[in-house]
Structure 1
Amino acid sequence: MLEGAEATVHELYYGPIARDLRYRRLHVLADGPLTARTFPGWHMGFLHTSPASEVAIDGYLNPAGAGFLASHAPAASPVLLNLLHQFVHR
């Protein structure tokens, strides 16, 4: 899920993401303006971890935790929450 200014999101998706050979069969599931960000407090980052070390990382949120999506994405529509739930629990 990409959120932000339309031009920035468009540039990011059709730039480095779509050209990156690690990604296959990309599909845009929804596109358009939002009245509010769905994930206002989330920031991107990457760090190699082990399951034991994740609990010690400042700011780490376990996406598979009970109630995670509902509590961290209060502006999300029920359809989006269902889609994200299926993605997280695969």
Structure 2
Amino acid sequence: MALYHLIYQSQATVPFDTPALAALLHQSRLFNHRHHMSGLLLHTPDDRFLQLLEGEEADVRSLYYQHILPDPRHQHCEVLGEGPCLQRSFADWNMGFRVALATDLHILLQEAARTEYAADGSRPAVSPALLRQLLNFVGRNTGAARYYSEE
């Protein structure tokens, strides 16, 4: 039972207004709670997403490759990194959420771009520097509306 994480970005194909985001978060948190998963979802006003998933490898990979990737509500899914991890970065959240500006996402994606694919072509691991950036971003942006919280 190895701990695993995966981070990806995508673009919504339909607008995600407040009720749609609240419904998505409710559904995600229930699923993640049942499967002992945690993570963070960032959403920008132009409907881009960046999400980090943490849990058992089979659960994380199944969620992304069998449920998220084929979901018609978004496109241009790109895995930025995945692999084993020693501990959860967002252990207290079934699915944490923050609104991010496009500039915030750009900074985070610049950090992700620094991670190169392995010589065998396998996906890169999630960069420790990117995890630090995410944790710093969350620490700076704690004013999300109540319906976004997990309370």
TM-score by length of 2: 0.33
Residue among 18, 34, 40 paired with 2:85: 34
Ranges in structure 2 where 5+ consecutive residues have no aligned partner: 1-51, 100-126, 142-151
Shift of 1:62: 7.3
Partner Cα distance (1:17, 1:62) in 2: 17
1:5-84 equivalences under 5 Å are 5-44=56-95, 63=98, 77-82=128-133
Partner Cα distance (2:133, 2:68) in 1: 24
Which is bigger in relative contact order (C-alpha 8 A, separation at least 6)? 2
Aligned AA (1:30): G
- Matched-pair identity in %: 39
Aligned AA (1:12): L
Ranges in structure 1 where 5+ consecutive residues have no aligned partner: 45-60, 65-75
- Residue 62 to residue 79, structure 1, CA distance change in 2 (3 Å): closer
Partner of 1:24, secondary structure, is: strand
User: Does 1:3 find its partner at 2:61?
Assistant: no
- The RMSD of aligned alpha carbons is 3.0
How many residue pairs get matched? 60
**Which whole-Å deviations, capped at 9, do the CAs of 1:37-87 have from their partners, x for residues lacking one?**
11111013xxxxxxxxxxxxxxxx7746xxxxxxxxxxx9333232573xx
Partner Cα distance (2:54, 2:91) in 1: 9
Partner Cα distance (1:40, 1:63) in 2: 16
Aligned AA (1:8): D
Runs of 4+ in 1 over 6 A off after TM superposition: none
TM-score by length of 1: 0.53
